[in-house]
Structure 1
Amino acid sequence: MKNPNPEQTHFTKKRYNATSIIYNLMEWPVEQLWYKKWRQKLWQNIHGPSVLEIGVGTGKNIPFYPGEIKLTGIDLSPGMLKRAKQLIAEKLQDNVTLKEMDAQDMNFPDNHFDDVVATFVFCSVPDPILGLKEALRVTRPGGKLHLLEHMRSENPVLGFLMDTLDTPIHYISGVHIARQTVANVEKAGWNIEQLQDLTAKGIFKRIEATRPH
């Protein structure tokens, strides 16, 4: 599948390469307050055995990988992957393979993985529906998609504010704050099985979806 967003993809890659050195420090407060416990709970429900993590980043999910799975992690940014590879080496995990790859154009065969996981990733994929369709393609029929995501608030006032701030925040960080990810998952062809609000106003959600048979 050809990436139709080369300029946006290059922009996103540059932004994450630039912040990779300080990324963990930037997210430390929200990681300690919320993300860490959400990640741990998410991975308790993933059994694979063949699992793809899209947007592995600096490896924040690595401490929670179940030992019995075989995991492939991809990321657009080599700077982020460098940090993740260091963490893999420190933990002596030999069941994990990391690759530089675009979520919108993955180099995997159809029906390849049992589960696909992404945490706070589809806010920054240039074409999120395309990325979710690629995730669908590489997942076996009946396989699961597990997401932690932040998205546009369901509150009208807050949603309008997020729409207004989306462009400048994206320019600075590469992140969109007003994505409608639940709708995007459905548009990509997934069947949503579970949808959980993690905070008020519907901004943070856990999504579990299944690839139709």
Structure 2
Amino acid sequence: MRTDEPPDTARSLGRGIEQFHHPRPIYAGGWPTPERVRLMAGLSGRVLEFGAGDGVKLTCYPAEVSEVVLVEADPFLRGTAEQVAARVTVPVRVVGGSLTRVPAPDAAFDAVVTSLALCASPSAAKTLEEVRRVLRPGGELRFYEHQRSANQLLATCEKLLWSRVLGGCHPASDCLAALDRAGFAIIGLDRLTYCHVSHVLGSARPR
């Protein structure tokens, strides 16, 4: 919900980016983008997010979140995110690990956030297996991900070309099918496009 001031906004941080391989802005016009707002809405307790971006996403977490654990494999991006983490009110830990290995015990988190991360995973199945492992019973996955286009020509272009030039991103991924195979039930879903590329934004829980 919009208030007098954006949450934890430090104007010197700039617009921010969701992920390093996806320079999608976190802020637009001084406020979090609708996608980031939807990902954060109603979150509470301990939350894990994959991928640091430049760390500015940390300024968007609501006060009800007791801790954010940000998993990032790249040491440079971890260092950048740690600088932002020192300036926000929500407690943050930036840790190593990867999209297929989370350095956390079982059932440790109330929610997990993936934003343009599954498309870069070497195995979406393994990533979602880790998500299931670290979620507490009743926990929730929030996701904002590429979804293979329903247009066959565009889907072919995504598969043959774009995945080769987008830093390891695979926009032809079928996020919804991967969630279903991993045993997740969708509890909220929006379909949208960005630069003519199909995306899905929603939430899911283990069945």
Q: Considering the TM-score relative to the shorter chain, is it more than 0.5?
A: yes
> Of 181, 184, 200, which aligns to 2:175?
181
Alignment-mate amino acid for residue 171 of structure 2: I
Name 1:13's counterpart in structure 2.
none
Q: Say whether 1:132 aligns with 2:128.
A: yes
Deviations 1:161-188 (A, max 9, x none): 1111144225xx1211211111111111
Q: Which runs of 4+ in 1 moved over 4 A?
A: 23-26, 28-33
Name the CA distance, whole Å, in 1 between partners of 2:113 and 2:92.
14
Name 1:199's counterpart in structure 2.
193
Gaps of 5+ in 1: 1-22
Name the CA distance, whole Å, in 1 between partners of 2:155 and 2:131.
27
Secondary structure of residue in 2 paired with 1:61: helix
Secondary structure of residue in 1 paired with 2:119: coil
1:93-108 matched pairs, under 5 angstroms: 93=89, 95-108=91-104
> Of 47, 54, 60, which aligns to 1:64?
60
Matched pairs, number: 185
Name the CA distance, whole Å, in 2 between partners of 1:25 and 1:77.
12
TM-score normalized by the length of structure 2: 0.79
- Deviates most, 187-196 or 126-135: 187-196
1:39/1:30 Cα in 2 relative to 1: closer, same or farther (>3 Å)?
A: closer
Name the CA distance, whole Å, in 2 between partners of 1:129 and 1:155.
24
> Of 118, 139, 143, which aligns to 1:143?
139
- Deviates most, 105-114 or 132-141: 105-114
Name the CA distance, whole Å, in 1 between partners of 2:21 and 2:162.
22
Name the CA distance, whole Å, in 1 between partners of 2:78 and 2:22.
17
Alignment-mate amino acid for residue 209 of structure 1: A
Bigger RCO of structures 1 and 2 (CA < 8 A, at least 6 apart): 1
